[in-house]
Structure 1
Amino acid sequence: MTIRCVIIDDEFPARSLLKDYITKFPHLELVGAFKSPLEALPALQSGSVDLAFLDIQMPEISGMDFLKSFHLKNILVVITSAYPEYALEGYELDVIDYLLKPFSFERFVQSVQKAGERLQARTTDNNLLVQNFQHEQEYIIVKANHKSYRVKVSDILFIESLREYVAYHCIDQKLVSLDSLKKLIETLPSEVFMRVHKSYIVNRLQVKALYGNQLQMHHTSKVVPIGQSYRDEVRKSLFNL
């Protein structure tokens, strides 16, 4: 498994050390090394990063403030800092490790192992979900309101992104769950579900009509917008236009 990494540290020696450590692992790929979190933001939001080594004390915005302000969906974070007093706060923000500068290569190896184990567990969960779809396409499990709902696939009209959450708009209910459209579109059966907008996935079988840049759905008066970059594919795939 390749782990795609970024380094975020305003100090050149720290970036150089981490680069050297990363190059010792054939399964680690350095996506970029940045002087500040804001400089790294495009890479972090691109979906091409698995692991970030993040310093705390930086001029523009501290590593902690950055983690609080920007939700790094599906990106593992290892804090690298010379200040031990931030360790507890870091773990409360769900970082996987806290490397206290100066740290040894052996200590760095432990962080890499933690990242690998976390990513492997995530991949296993996704594979199990895919296997469940292959064996039983009729239902999916949605966790919402502190419950696990067994939702019939054919009852889902569309799924809407709500920042860190998604809303399942069904024939007879609406469920809000902690998840992302990016993850769902990779696991939901593509023969049933289609992404039509950065914030919407629709059930192909529940699409009633197309007018302008909107889709009218069965069983609801709500309409689903079509993103410009998805328009041609929607017209072709759903309406043979």
Structure 2
Amino acid sequence: MITCIIVDDETHAIDVLKHYIKSVNQLNLVASFTNPTEAIAFLSRQRVDLIFLDVHMPEISGIDFIQAFQYERYHFILTTAYPQYASNGFDLDIVDFLVKPIPLNRFLQAFNKLQRVIGQQKSNQNSNDIEMEYFMVKAQAKGKLVKINLCDIDYIEGMKNYVAFHHQGTRTIALITMKEIEQKLPEKYFIRVQKSFIIALSKVIALDGNRVVLKDVGSEILIGETYRQHFLDTIKKKQII
């Protein structure tokens, strides 16, 4: 659910937006304000995801309002009868700019754009998360702790009481079991495809019958019957045709 507020000095404009917001299940209107200073006070107590904001208001302009929150993570959709303000709004990285009177289809286009923006931000955050995550493992051969970044792992191979991390063209063997390492790996990035192999989902480039092809890995990995259905279900979530 995306929480939002409306800030507009015209009650009629607020009523139109309220009606439109009710037609979108994913939007939850928590408050509306005709006075922007009251909206600022509200935001000091409660966070929201989205602000529908008029540009031309008597006390504080919408542009000044956005600049007051430039270090906060709010999404803004500007609403105004003055289209000449559009360039100023987009310079401040707003989601969209709606010119009054606002048709419903144009409102829905702005909402769809908001969903794409939020989706991209989540995707970027997930990428940043895995780039920051790593293991420190006691390497069998070197007898010292070795740092392995999760984003560098191609696959992990089980070897009885050891596992081999295949990463960036090298192999690091560590004293840990497949079961133990599987419990430590984030499920959204790694999946077990057979008793002896865990692969990085980000490195999958093709599925050829019962074999999975990984980026920059010379050999294909056989999918075990026990793990096949779970793997296929996971891949199908990303399938578009």
Q: Under a length normalisation based on structure 2, what TM-score does the superposition of the two structures give?
A: 0.52
Name structure 2 gaps, 5 residues minimum. 138-148, 150-241
Instruction: Please say if residues 51 and 78 of structure 1, whose CA atoms lie closer than 8 Å, have aligned partners that are also in contact.
Output: yes
Secondary structure of 1:86 counterpart: helix
Aligned match of 2:123: 124
Corresponding residue number in structure 1 for 2:101: 102
CA 12–124 in structure 1, closer or farther in 2 if over 3 Å, else same: same
With over 3 angstroms needed to count, the CA separation of the structure-2 counterparts of 1:103 and 1:115, relative to structure 1, is same
Who is 2:204 aligned against? Answer: none
1:6 aligns with 2:40: no
How far apart in 1 are the matches of 2:133 and 2:70?
Answer: 32
> What is the correspondence of 1:28-107 to structure 2 with a 5 Å cutoff?
28-46=27-45, 48-71=47-70, 73-107=72-106
Q: Evaluate the alpha carbon distance shift between residue 53 and residue 59 of structure 1 in structure 2; reply closer, same or farther with a 3 A threshold.
A: same
Q: CA deviation at 1:20?
A: 0.7
Q: Distance in 1 between matches of 2:17 and 2:47?
A: 19
Residues 136/21 of structure 1: CA separation in 2 closer, same or farther (3 Å cut): farther
* Equivalent position amino acid for 1:108 in 2: F
For the 8 Å contact 1:3–1:116, the answer to whether it is kept is no
Please give the alpha-carbon distance, in whole angstroms, between the structure 2 residues aligned to 1:33 and 1:121: 28
Give the Cα–Cα distance (whole angstroms) in 2 for the partners of residues 8 and 54 of structure 1.
5
TM-score (norm 1): 0.52
- Superposition RMSD on alpha carbons, in Å? 2.3
* Partner residue in 2 for 1:176: none
- 1:155 maps to none
Could you tell me how far apart the structure 1 residues matched to 2:54 and 2:119 are?
Answer: 25
Shift, 1:70, TM fit: 3.4
User: Mind listing any 5+ residue stretches in structure 1 that lack a counterpart?
Assistant: 139-149, 151-241
What is the distance in 1 between the residues matched to 2:97 and 2:54?
10
Instruction: Name the count of aligned residue pairs.
Output: 138
Aligned to 2:19: 20
Question: Percent identity at matched positions?
Answer: 38
Q: What amino acid is the match of 1:115?
A: L
Report how far residue 48 of structure 1 moved. Answer: 2.5
Are 1:44 and 1:72, in contact at CA under 8 Å, matched by a contact in 2? no
Amino acid at match of 2:92: L
Give, as a single letter, the amino acid of the residue that structure 2 aligns with 1:5: C
- Give the letter for the 1:4 counterpart: T
Letter in 2 for 1:16: D
